[in-house]
Amino acid sequence: MRGHTSAAPRYKVNSKGKRMAKNFGFHVALAVLSLIFLIPIFYMITTSLMGEVESGSGAFLPADPQWQNYVLAFNSKFLNWFKNSLIVVVINVVAIPLSASFTAFGFTRCKFKGSGVLFAVILATMMVPGVVTQIPMYVIYVKIGWLNTILPLTIPAILGGGAGNIFLARQFMRTISPTMDEAAVIDGANRFQVFFKIYLPLSAPVLIYMMITTFTGVFNDVVGPLLYLRREESYTLALGIYHQFLGSYTPTMYDPDGNVTVVGTFPNIRMATGMYMLIPCAIVFFIFQKQLIDGIQMGSVKG
Spatial CB neighbours of 72, under 8 Å, sequence gap ≥ 6:
269, 272
Ramachandran category for residue 126: left, alpha or beta (phi over 0 → left; psi -120 to 50 → alpha): alpha
For residues 240 and 83, the answer to whether their CB atoms sit within 8 Å is no
Q: What is the pLDDT of residue 9?
A: 53
* Rounded-to-integer distance, Cα 190 and Cα 36, Å: 54
- Give 165-192 pLDDT, tens digit per residue: 999 899 888 888 888 888 888 888 888 8
Which alpha helices (H) appear in the chain, and where do they start and end? 2-48, 52-55, 68-73, 76-109, 115-124, 130-143, 151-154, 163-173, 178-186, 191-194, 200-202, 204-219, 223-228, 237-241, 267-287, 289-301
What CATH code is assigned to 72-301?
A: 1.10.3720.10
* Rounded-to-integer distance, Cα 147 and Cα 141, Å: 6
Percent of the chain scoring above 90 in pLDDT? 19
Q: Provide mean pLDDT across the span 220-241.
A: 89
* Residue 223 vs residues 72, 249, 298: alpha-carbon distances, Å: 26, 19, 29
- Which tops the pLDDT comparison, 246 or 270? 270
* Rounded-to-integer distance, Cα 196 and Cα 55, Å: 54
> Is the C-alpha dihedral spanning 25, 26, 27, 32 positive or negative?
positive
Ramachandran category for residue 12: left, alpha or beta (phi over 0 → left; psi -120 to 50 → alpha): alpha
- Give 39-70 pLDDT, tens digit per residue: 888 888 888 888 876 776 777 788 888 888 88
Q: What is the pLDDT of residue 250?
A: 44
Closest CA to 51 of 262, 220, 300: 262
Query: Hey, where are the domains in the chain?
Result: 2-48, 72-301
The 3-state DSSP class for residue 260 equals: strand
Q: What angle do CA 138, 169, 103 make, to 5 degrees?
A: 55
Residue 261 has pLDDT above 80, yes or no: no
Residue 254: phi, psi to the nearest 5?
-125, 135
* Rounded-to-integer distance, Cα 141 and Cα 206, Å: 31
Going by pLDDT thresholds of 50, 70 and 90, the confidence category of residue 295 is low
